[in-house]
Chain A
Amino acid sequence: MNRPRGLRARIAAGFAAGALVLSAGMALVSYGLTRTSLLEERERTAIRAAYFNATIVNAGISGDQPDVLEVLRSLDTGTNRRPVLRRDARWYARSADSGITDAIPQALRQLVEQGRPAVQRIRAGDGPAIVVGVPLAGGTAFYQVDSLTELDRTVQTLALVLIAVAAMTTGAGAALGWYTTRRVLRPLALVADAAHDIARGDLTARLDPAADPDLTRLTGSFNHMVDELARRLERDRRFAADVAHELRSPLQTLAAAGSVLTRRRAALDDRTATAADLVAVEIQRFQTLVNDLLELARSDQPARREPVDIAALARQVCRSRGLPDDIVEVAEGAAVTWHVDRRRVRQLLGNLVDNAVDHGGGPVAVRIGGAGVTGQLDVDDEGPGVSPEDKDVIFDRFVRGRAAAARGSSDGTGLGLALVAQHVAAHQGRVAVLDRPGGGARFRVELPGCLR
């Protein structure tokens, strides 16, 4: 299941990643810079203070019997700054500052004892600190340990703030990406809507070329495509109309002349009469064929739905074919007002009834039912039924039942059931041939959306 992610999701992710990289970079740089400058500032302060204090201590211990501790105590250091003195291999520290001497690194002590001032950042027991060592006269060394805990906390807070800002920026980037793609994809939605309208048969649907100058190419190509499509459909329609005219005009002559022949049949000798009959029958079939072909050629037209009394229509169809209209049965509780294309449903029913007459010994029932919004029509006959291999192809064009083929004669055109399938498809419905309980075939048509 590796479903590709949507364009919007991918673009939003891209925006988020970009925002993350940018904001994280910015955060890292500002963190580094701030931390460095804060530390340096602190270090300078510490060194200044150390020299100042060292000067005081130096003055304080220059006497004969100096009270070293008193001198240290006299320093104004605050709580974060702890001075210690090493003199004659002994440590001197204020009582509160005892134990700090361990934290002073050996290397620093050596430097200072060699007479060179030194600074080092260390990690003391209670947090980071900075040690400044200042050599005094007579091998005495003054050390000052400045706690950096407060600074460290400040830097940590800064880091947290920067991380939060980076996260928020990333989120904002994703949101911006989502919003932008919605804006960017809106024209595509318009294209999709227009394409949908066109697919439904509305060839007047176009995109507004003035909507956005950046999309001129898209709207231009799209509208051009629809123009071409409309032109082509119009050409096909015209062709069908032309063919119709060219076929129908000679057929009219044949039909009229044929009826003159038929009317005079009694006056003809047997051979001529038989020939006249053949001509009349074939003219009839030719007419049906031309009409059916034209109907098929018009397949692209959508169904024009309107309220239709389906039971009345079915009875009409039966009567018009000389069948009793009491074979029409309406299932109990079934609605008879259907929203369908009257012309299509009339022809559909007529063709199913004709099929039952031609191949099934006549229809025994035309049943009207339905469930939900779907209307159901059954046309039953008591004929030989439809063999399984025929069931798949019976709705194809120019397929006639095996029985008819074996007889070598049929009044059908082989298009009747293809037209049924087409009319059903125009209603987004389904048609199937089933076995009728008790023998025979049952043609079942289901038309969704015709009951409301």
Chain B
Amino acid sequence: MAGMMRPVTAVLVIEDDNRIRLSLMLALEDEGYTVYGAATAEEGLLLHRRSPVDAVVVDLMLPGIDGFECIAQLRVQDDVPIVVVSARDDKRDIVAALEAGADDYVVKPVAIEELAARLRALRRRLRAVVPRADDVPTLVFGDLEIRPEAGEVRLCGEPVAVTRTEFRLLCELAEHPGRVLSRQQLLQRVWEYSIGDERLVDVHVGRLRQKIEQDSGTPRHLVTVRGLGYKLQR
């Protein structure tokens, strides 16, 4: 498995609007993906459980289980990259979706090139952290250990389950110990945005803190530098 690239990337589009789903499927197929469509969250979750896909594109307003719940359930299952494509651009919706576990959020209408770029960025992260061997370098921050090559995070020796995006974010910060990285820098390096929504960074940092800090309210490792950005320290 190590370093292997699948020839085709499977994408699941969960969208209740038939016309939007069909047009997204057509356009993403043009971009070279194998695309599965689901009109409801239930259908999509079932599809993914049966044959896991490489990325999920999900709407927020769905009949039955809504998008937020759908993201949360997908996240329980595995760390498949999830991109929200929603007409809702209310910041509360965006933050809620990201907190539920989404990796990225774009507002409709999104250009297909842009959506494809988002998926590519998430996929690159996926490939970058495929586990390889045990004797890989370890970055140590006090009781926090990060092994970028192995895709591993340990807190006090205990493995911590982080998503691929969270891991990539942590690695970016860990590779520059004690140095402040601005939100825009992190957006460029982790999400490959030239200009993006900084809430993406903030919410992911918040999620990371809940996993790698003893007390996420008063973080010791992943600290905010007001007006500048974030840094990782011992």
Give chain A's interface residues, CB within 8 Å of chain B: 241, 244-245, 248-257, 259-260, 263, 283, 287, 294, 306-307, 309, 312, 316-317, 319-320, 337, 342, 346
The answer to whether B194 touches A319 (Cβ under 8 A) is yes
The answer to whether B108 touches A249 (Cβ under 8 A) is yes
Inter-chain CA distance A239–B180, complex, in Å, is 41
The answer to whether A260 touches B30 (Cβ under 8 A) is yes
Say whether, besides A245-B87, A257-B27, A252 and B20 are in contact (CB < 8 Å). yes
**Please, which residues of chain B bring their CB within 8 A of the CB of A250?**
19
Give 27 A-B contacts (CB < 8 Å), ordered by A residue.
A241-B90, A244-B89, A249-B20, A249-B87, A251-B108, A252-B20, A252-B23, A252-B85, A253-B19, A253-B20, A253-B23, A255-B109, A255-B112, A256-B20, A256-B24, A257-B26, A259-B30, A260-B26, A260-B30, A263-B30, A306-B227, A307-B226, A307-B227, A312-B184, A316-B195, A319-B194, A337-B227
Residue among B17, B24, B112 facing the most chain A CB atoms (10 A cut-off): B112
The answer to whether A259 touches B112 (Cβ under 8 A) is yes
Inter-chain CA distance A346–B196, complex, in Å, is 11
* Closest beta carbon of chain B to A260's beta carbon, Å: 5
The answer to whether A259 touches B27 (Cβ under 8 A) is yes
**Please, which residues of chain A bring their CB within 8 A of the CB of B228?**
307
The answer to whether A252 touches B226 (Cβ under 8 A) is no
The answer to whether B227 touches A252 (Cβ under 8 A) is no
Chain B residues 180 to 200 lying within 8 A of chain A, measured CB to CB, are 182, 184, 194-195, 198
Inter-chain CA distance A252–B87, complex, in Å, is 9
Contact of B176 with A by CB under 8 A: no
**Please, which residues of chain B bring their CB within 8 A of the CB of A251?**
108-109
Inter-chain CA distance A250–B87, complex, in Å, is 10
**Please, which residues of chain A bring their CB within 8 A of the CB of B27?**
256-257, 259-260
- Nearest opposing residue in chain A for B19, CB measure: A253
**Please, which residues of chain B bring their CB within 8 A of the CB of A319?**
194
* Closest beta carbon of chain B to A146's beta carbon, Å: 94
**Please, which residues of chain B bring their CB within 8 A of the CB of A260?**
23, 26-27, 30
With A252-B108, A252-B110 known, 14 other A-B pairs at CB within 8 A are A241-B90, A249-B20, A249-B87, A251-B108, A251-B109, A252-B87, A254-B109, A256-B23, A256-B112, A260-B23, A260-B27, A307-B227, A316-B195, A337-B227
**Please, which residues of chain B bring their CB within 8 A of the CB of A312?**
184
Inter-chain CA distance A249–B24, complex, in Å, is 12
**Please, which residues of chain B bring their CB within 8 A of the CB of A241?**
88, 90
The answer to whether A244 touches B87 (Cβ under 8 A) is yes
**Please, which residues of chain A bring their CB within 8 A of the CB of B182?**
309
* Closest beta carbon of chain B to A411's beta carbon, Å: 15
List the 6 closest pairs (A to B, CB-CB), nearest first: A307-B227, A256-B23, A251-B109, A259-B112, A248-B87, A256-B27
Contact of B136 with A by CB under 8 A: no
The answer to whether B195 touches A248 (Cβ under 8 A) is no
Contact of B128 with A by CB under 8 A: no
Contact of B65 with A by CB under 8 A: no
Partner among A248, A253, A283, A320 whose Cβ is within 8 Å of the Cβ of B107:
A248
- Nearest opposing residue in chain B for A316, CB measure: B195
**Please, which residues of chain A bring their CB within 8 A of the CB of B90?**
241
The answer to whether B109 touches A252 (Cβ under 8 A) is yes
- Nearest opposing residue in chain A for B29, CB measure: A260
**Please, which residues of chain B bring their CB within 8 A of the CB of A337?**
227
**Please, which residues of chain A bring their CB within 8 A of the CB of B17?**
249, 253
The answer to whether A346 touches B195 (Cβ under 8 A) is yes
**Please, which residues of chain B bring their CB within 8 A of the CB of A342?**
198
Inter-chain CA distance A319–B184, complex, in Å, is 14
* Closest beta carbon of chain B to A32's beta carbon, Å: 78
Contact of B113 with A by CB under 8 A: yes
Inter-chain CA distance A283–B112, complex, in Å, is 13
Say whether, besides A241-B88, A249-B20, A320 and B109 are in contact (CB < 8 Å). no
Residue among B27, B85, B90, B227 facing the most chain A CB atoms (10 A cut-off): B27
Inter-chain CA distance A218–B29, complex, in Å, is 64
The answer to whether B30 touches A320 (Cβ under 8 A) is no
**Please, which residues of chain A bring their CB within 8 A of the CB of B85?**
252
